[in-house]
Amino acid sequence: MNAMEKVAWTELLVSLTAVVAVALLFPWLGDAAIGAFGLLGLMGFAILFIRRRGSRVVVDERDYQIQLKATAVGIYTSWMAMILTLIGAVVCSGYADAETVPTRLLNWLLWLQFAFCFGLRGLVSIALYRRQHAA
């Protein structure tokens, strides 16, 4: 497993851990459970996998291409999910005779989108690395 695949696994596992932690804490804490998304900050430690060790090449062109594809899929999919959710929220608030969309819904939506984006990016990266037969 190369360094960028380790980064992808880190992104996937940290995103899943954050979402599971929020889901488990929500019954007790309510909206305060959103603080568990702070676990997403652990993704910053993924940089330890790609730091240079002597003269050895850590990231090559193949890794850049895989990360580019995975980032595109993660960002485009999460943006489309967010836009569709916002459309649904506006339509539902219109039927409920509400003048605005609740800000707590928007707050949840942004954090879930962030976790979804990086989780999907990690998943797509892992799939692309596993699909290749040789490095």
pLDDT in tens, 21-66: 999 999 999 889 999 999 999 998 888 887 777 777 678 888 899 9
Is 93 a residue whose pLDDT tops 80? no
- Percent of the chain that is helix, strand, coil (3-state, to 5): 80, 0, 20
Is 134 a residue whose pLDDT tops 70? no
81 or 53: whose pLDDT is higher? 81
Q: Would you give the end-to-end CA distance of the chain in angstroms?
A: 10
**Is the whole-model pTM more than 0.85?**
no
| Residue 22 in tokens | 């929020």
Is 94 a residue whose pLDDT tops 80? no
